[in-house]
Structures are given as structure tokens and as C-alpha cells.
Structure 1
């Protein structure tokens, strides 16, 4: 008679989930093996080479991506984790894009602005002084004839014949001041844009713009003074 109990006499199996079987010591999955989607290695089990957790899935505790391998989206390194040498830890967060600041123009030599300032000064002051002297000569030489000329007639340009030298001088002063003033205005703007004597360039632009007004005012004052002097001298 057999000593083994009959099958119907064996105790029933225990109810509940079967505990996982730990891997054999020294076991490593083959190279290139990719676990099925949704698989996560148990705690303490090294992830196979080339394994990346699915998108949005938190990496298991103690897992670190291999060197040179980018961390998956949503992955946060565990507390106290330090990246291996040569690897930068992922940024904590991304802010709005801020474009780099434009490089400031380096100030160069101020020669360009200084030259523009000198040209504007010559155009405004020099041309106005020459024009004023010529205007006084024209007024003094024609004051008597203009005072005796009837007012109901058109202006007789032959009156300017005795003072034609002063008329020519006044024209040269006007056109010379116009050319130098335009030159100073353009060069002053270039000096401002290129930051090469910006202060001098700003002053040159202001003087060049006001130059024609100064010239016209000075010539008008001196011509009027010359007319008065000429009419008085002629009796």
C-alpha cells in the first residue's frame, strides 16, 4: 500500500496573487531588447539597455537615463540625483523666449561730428557776416536812388549797377552758406547714427537748420541800415 496520500486529500492552494519571482543573480536582458509598452521594471531591478519609459510615465525610483541619452518628457530626476560627468541636468522649467539684446554701437572717433559742427558754424556765422556786410554796402550805395525813385513804378534794376560787386559778394555768401550748411546737415546725421561724435553731430544739425534763418535776418537788418545811411547821406 502506497504511503502517498490520495489526490483528493491534498490541501487546496492558497488564495491571492502569486508573488513575483526575483530574477536570477547575474541575469541581464539581451542587448537591443525592448520591453512591451507600459512595462515598468520592478523596484530595484536595473532597466535594460536602450529602455525608455513611455511618454508621461514616471521613471521608477532609482532610475537614471544612460550617459548621453535624453531624459523622456515628463521625467524628473529623483531627489539628490546628480547627473553624470559631462551631462547637464534637465531644466526645471522653461520661461517665455527673450530675444538677445542688440549690441550697442561702439563709440568711434568724434572727427566726423567735429567736422560737421565746424562746417555748420562757417555756413551759419561766416556766411551771415559776409552777407550782412554786402547787404549794408548795397543799401548804402542805392539808398539815395531808391529814396528818389517814384513808388508807383516798377523797380529799376539798373540802380544796382554801382554796387554790383556787393551784389556778387552777397550771392557768393548765400550759395556758399547753402552748400556748406547742406554738407554739415548730412554729415551731422551720419555722425549721430554711427556714434562718431554724436554730441557734435547734434549741434551741427541744429546750427545747419537754423543757418538760413540767421542769414536772412542778418542781411535784412544790414540792408535796412544801409538804406537809411544812404538816404541820409544823399540828403
Structure 2
């Protein structure tokens, strides 16, 4: 029993509720709910890939994070063939054209000195050297065909990187070929005329 002479203490006031995070009631799940919200599940019979994403069949695989695969080494024969053709068209044709021009000048010079001087040019002075004239013409046309071939093949070799350095050299030599041929023919034709006329 309690002593009636002692004052009766008032009942203790309830303590204010402590602060609660938003996940707890009244903001979180309802009372009595335990666990996490249900996660969406894939349809029955479907399983996610074990090794991650794989591209569909027929499409190239992405290259992110993969080392670059070196391209196969291409043959440089295309450029070297073009270079060989350019050298034949330029150097070979210039040499053969120079020989033919000298022989033409020599024969035509002898014919000029053996005939009376005429103001009109007489093409019959080339009759004794008609074989050399034909050789010079054939050399010119064959060299032109080979030079064009070398020029085109050299450009293809540069673009496709199949003997790029040789292709560049072939293009330059083939482009200079007509000038080299023309200079050689003019110089040796003049030398042949000078030797044939005795000048």
C-alpha cells in the first residue's frame, strides 16, 4: 500500500516519437509488410544469356573493348608490275626511238644532199629508211599503250595500297614518258640529219 501522506505523482507523459526515415511508417510500406517489392520476372521458358549480350547472327560484333585485328598483308606485286611497265614505256621506248630517229635522220640527210634543193618537202626522201620510220611509229604506239597501262595500274596500286611506293614511281615515270620520248627523238633526229648532210 502506498502512503496516503505522500503526494501522488502524475503519470509519465509519453515520449515524443523519434524521427523515422521515409522508408518506415507512415511513409514506407504498410504495417505488416516484409521484404522488397516484387521484381519483374522473364516469361516462362526464357533465360537471360549467361555470357552477356551477343549480337544477332549476320551482324558484325561490336569492337568496343576488343583489340583491333590487323588486316592481312597485301601483295605489292601490282605496284612493281606498274613500275616495270612504266620503265619499259619510258626508257626502252626512248632508246629505241632515239636509234630509229638517228637512222632516219642519217638516211634522209643523205637523200637531201644527193638531190637538187627544192622549196617543197619531198616525202620520198624517207623511202630508203622506211623500215626505220615504221620502227619509230610502232615504238611510239606501243610505248603509249604501255604508258597508259602503267599509269592506270600505278593509280590502282596507290589507292589499294598494294605496292604504294612503286605505284607512285610508276605514275611519275609514265607521266614523264612522252616528254622523254619526244626529246630523245628530236635530239637524235637532228644528230642524224647533221651526220647525213655532212654539216
TM range (shorter): 0.5 to 0.7
Picking from 122, 132, 152, the partner of 1:156 is 122
- Closer, same or farther: CA 149–171 of 1 in aligned 2, 3 Å: farther
Residues 7-29 of structure 1, C-alpha deviation per residue, up to 9 Å, x if partnerless? Answer: xxxxxxxxxxxx9648534x15x
- Closer, same or farther: CA 149–119 of 1 in aligned 2, 3 Å: farther
Relative to its length, the structure with more helix (as a share) is 2
- How far is the alpha carbon of 1:205 from its aligned partner? 0.4
- Closer, same or farther: CA 195–67 of 1 in aligned 2, 3 Å: farther
In 1: Cα distance, 2:85 partner to 2:176 partner: 13
Picking from 24, 41, 47, the partner of 2:31 is 24
Equivalent residue number for residue 108 of structure 2: 142
Equivalent residue number for residue 175 of structure 2: 209
> Where does 1:184-223 land on structure 2 (aligned, <5 Å)?
184-223=150-189
> Where does 1:4-83 land on structure 2 (aligned, <5 Å)?
21=26, 23-25=30-32, 27-28=33-34, 48-49=37-38
Equivalent residue number for residue 125 of structure 1: 91
Which structure would you say has the larger RCO, counting Cα contacts within 8 Å and 6 or more residues apart?
2
Residues 135-194 of structure 1, C-alpha deviation per residue, up to 9 Å, x if partnerless? Answer: 0000000113335564632x2111110000110110111011111111111111111111
- Closer, same or farther: CA 133–105 of 1 in aligned 2, 3 Å: farther
- How far is the alpha carbon of 1:48 from its aligned partner? 3.7
- Closer, same or farther: CA 47–122 of 1 in aligned 2, 3 Å: same
Picking from 120, 133, 139, the partner of 1:167 is 133
> Where does 1:86-97 land on structure 2 (aligned, <5 Å)?
none
Moved over 4 A (4+): 19-23, 103-107
- Closer, same or farther: CA 225–67 of 1 in aligned 2, 3 Å: farther
Unaligned runs of 5+ in 1: 1-18, 29-45, 51-65, 69-85, 88-102
In 2: Cα distance, 1:47 partner to 1:231 partner: 115
Residues 38-66 of structure 1, C-alpha deviation per residue, up to 9 Å, x if partnerless? Answer: xxxxxxxx77446xxxxxxxxxxxxxxx9
Cα-Cα RMSD? 3.8
Task: Say whether residues 1:224 and 2:194 are aligned partners.
Answer: no
In 2: Cα distance, 1:113 partner to 1:24 partner: 83
In 2: Cα distance, 1:218 partner to 1:201 partner: 25
